[in-house]
Amino acid sequence: MPEMIGFLKPKQAVLDRRQEIVADLKDLLPKGCLISEERELKPFETDAFLAYRRLPLAVALPETTEQVAAVLKYCSRYGVPVVPRGAGTSLSGGAIPQEDAVVIGLSKMSRILDIDLFNRTATVQAGVTNLNISEAVSADGFFYAPDPSSQLACTIGGNIGMNSGGAHCLKYGVTTNNLLGVKLVLFDGTVIELGGKALDAAGYDLLGLVCGSEGQLGIVTEATVRLIAKPEGARPVLFGFASSEAAGACVADVIGAGIIPVAMEFMDKPAIEICEAFALAGYPLDVEALLIVEVEGSEAEMDAMLQRIIEVARRHGVTTIRECQSALEAALIWKGRKSAFGATGRIADYICMDGTVPLSQLSHVLRKTGEIVAGYGLRVANVFHAGDGNMHPLILYNINDPEDAARAEAAGNDILKLCVDVGGCLTGEHGVGIEKRDLMLHQYSRNDLDQQMATRAAFDPEWILNPSKVFPLEGRPAA
């Protein structure tokens, strides 16, 4: 298939030294921690942005921060690009390698180092999965709030890379709001610590800058995150509507009324059908759009908040209200929502957009999205975090049909431009990666991007770290 998104041209000097580099890296790592056979490199050639693949030069799987530092030091010394990788679930191509790059995978660094319930913190290695943290403290009545749908697989290092969100971030915030500290290896192997169990640190907010930096400022090897006491109870409720616009307007009015539920998720009819077929969650099939609204607290508190939400929903002509009756039903409702992407993947190839828009624009953008995708002769399913305006149109296409793929990418670009034009942004939680890289100038001016790139260069002057990502390939500072 013809590729619309380019990569940096591999450095010939690096490719020529491949054998030597592999041998040197083997010396720096324990046995079995360096992969260089083509067959074994295959699993690392892409992430969840499946349309693009590049076989890396080698994959290093270090077991300690010191080993990460040694590999980075070596690579920066010899100008070898490095692509950090967690579980490879990025939807924007953030973890896709390039031919001259060494992937540094954190999968072997998967230990929980410290759980401190008095101070409500967990300190973990970067390769620990998101769900592992919550599971480790669940019996004590705590959880880690950001909950990407990929939480079974994705790592905390990847979450920090993308500043990931999830359904419950409406109330509790995204990764950056729940991250207290990191151990970070800089491009030249220097190890620094930012933040910790104290809330404030001296100096610039480097922790805030590193969160969401897509592996371009350094490699996170350890993270300290904030834990929260679990609510007494939680209850998802289904609200069905006769149109997507009505559901979108309802979301805006609930928030506008000062009601902030824990989660407010949106699905349109195609998404409902896909998820229901997969999870048998009990979603109503006779509605055009569905909101999953979760309230939490004691029974009385949940009832009170729900009452206020129902009043707003009635004003928007809600057709179905279904409260779940048991923990099992609640689990199924969330299973259906959280497996939306996987379930979609069973019926078609898709690309997932991630623009965020002001809530007042939700209905408008939903309608325009439908028109744009139809204009390219494709289908779309919408399933997303509505409460914070973070939209996920899934554009369905056939990955083996080059023209179809080109149309899908073009439709995606039109949608993202629309998001920016109504006052939103290109990506709310999946990151720029390679996918939205060439749209950055639609959101930012040249000066804005230059300032970001200058900041990046303060961390990584030679652009060793994940260099094909985030910033358009043209107009970069000369290294």
Partner 1 sequence: MIVHFEPASEEGIASVVRSAAAERVTLAIVGGGTRAGLGNPVRTDRTLSTRRLSGIVSYNPAEMTMSALAGTPLAEVEAALRAKGQMLSFEPMDHRPIFATSGEPTIGGVFAANVSGPRRYVAGAARDNLLGVRFVNGAGDLIKAGGRVMKNVTGLDLVKLMAGSYGTLGILTEVTFKVLPIPPAAATVVVSGLNDAEAAAAMAETMAQPVEASGAAHLPESVRGRFLDGALPDGAATVLRLEGLADSVDLRVEKLTAALSRFGSVSRLDAEATRLLWAEIRDVKPYADGTRRPLWRVSVAPSAGHQLVAALRLQTGVDAFYDWQGGLVWLRMEADAEAELVRRYVGALGGGHAGLVRAGDDVRARVPAFEPQAPAVVQLTERIRARFDPARIFNPGRMAANV
Ligand X SMILES: Cc1cc2nc3c(=O)[nH]c(=O)nc-3n(C[C@H](O)[C@H](O)[C@H](O)COP(=O)(O)OP(=O)(O)OC[C@H]3O[C@@H](n4cnc5c(N)ncnc54)[C@H](O)[C@@H]3O)c2cc1C
Binding letters toward partner 1, positions 322-361, x by CB under 8 A: ----------------------------------xxxxx-
Min dist CB 9 to partner 1, Å, is: 23
Q: Which does 297 bind (CB under 5 to 8 A by kind): ligand X, partner 1, none?
A: partner 1
284 forms part of the interface with partner 1 (CB under 8 A): no
Shorter beta-carbon distance to ligand X: residue 106 or 264: 106
Checking phi first, is residue 344 left (phi over 0); if not, alpha (psi -120 to 50) or beta?
A: alpha
Rg (the chain; Cα; Å): 22
Q: Which does 150 bind (CB under 5 to 8 A by kind): partner 1, ligand X, none?
A: ligand X
Shorter beta-carbon distance to partner 1: residue 35 or 162: 162
* Cβ atoms 221, 183 nearer than 8 A: yes
Shorter beta-carbon distance to partner 1: residue 6 or 256: 256
* Cβ atoms 89, 153 nearer than 8 A: yes
Min dist CB 147 to ligand X, Å, is: 7
Shorter beta-carbon distance to partner 1: residue 36 or 90: 90
Shorter beta-carbon distance to partner 1: residue 89 or 356: 356
The neighbouring-strand residues paired with 354 are 427
Q: What is the Cα 252 distance to its own chain's centre?
A: 24
Look-up: residue for tokens 């260099």?
467
Shorter beta-carbon distance to partner 1: residue 278 or 459: 459
Q: Which does 182 bind (CB under 5 to 8 A by kind): ligand X, partner 1, none?
A: none
DSSP string, 8-60: PPPPHHHHHTHHHHHHHHHHHS-TT-EE--HHHHGGGS--S-TT-----SEEE
* Cβ atoms 173, 156 nearer than 8 A: no
List the one residue out of 145, 139, 45 whose CA is nearest residue 96: 45
Which residues, at least 6 apart from 135, have a Cβ–Cβ distance to it below 8 Å? none
202 forms part of the interface with partner 1 (CB under 8 A): yes
Min dist CB 377 to ligand X, Å, is: 26
Q: Residue from 1, 327, 454, 479 that binds partner 1 (CB under 8 A)?
A: 454
Q: Which does 376 bind (CB under 5 to 8 A by kind): ligand X, partner 1, none?
A: none
Shorter beta-carbon distance to partner 1: residue 285 or 454: 454
Min dist CB 86 to ligand X, Å, is: 2
155 forms part of the interface with partner 1 (CB under 8 A): no
| 296 three-state secondary structure | strand
Q: Which does 466 bind (CB under 5 to 8 A by kind): partner 1, ligand X, none?
A: ligand X
Min dist CB 69 to ligand X, Å, is: 13
Task: For the segment 107-126, give every residue that binds partner 1 (CB under 8 A).
Answer: 116-121
Q: Residue from 81, 84, 212, 393 that binds partner 1 (CB under 8 A)?
A: 212
479 forms part of the interface with partner 1 (CB under 8 A): no
385 forms part of the interface with partner 1 (CB under 8 A): yes
Which region among 65-73, 276-284, 293-301, 314-322 touches partner 1 (by CB under 8 A)? 293-301
Checking phi first, is residue 33 left (phi over 0); if not, alpha (psi -120 to 50) or beta?
A: alpha
Instruction: Give the interface with ligand X as residue ranges (CB under 6 A).
Output: 47-48, 83-91, 94-95, 106, 126, 148-150, 154-155, 157-159, 161-162, 164-166, 214-215, 219-220, 341-342, 429-430, 466
What is the Cα–Cα distance from 467 to 473, expressed in whole angstroms?
9
Which residues, at least 6 apart from 3, have a Cβ–Cβ distance to it below 8 Å? 52
* Cβ atoms 344, 350 nearer than 8 A: yes
Which region among 67-75, 199-207, 285-293, 373-381 touches partner 1 (by CB under 8 A)? 199-207
Q: Which does 205 bind (CB under 5 to 8 A by kind): partner 1, ligand X, none?
A: partner 1
Min dist CB 477 to partner 1, Å, is: 10
Do β-strands 349-352 and 393-397 pair in parallel, antiparallel, or remain unpaired? antiparallel
**Starting from the edge strand earliest in sequence, which strands make up the sheet with 112-116, in order?**
112-116, 121-125, 219-226, 179-185, 191-195
Min dist CB 45 to partner 1, Å, is: 24
Taking the CB of residue 65, how many other CB atoms lie within 10 A of it? 19
What is the Cα–Cα distance from 18 to 34, expressed in whole angstroms?
13
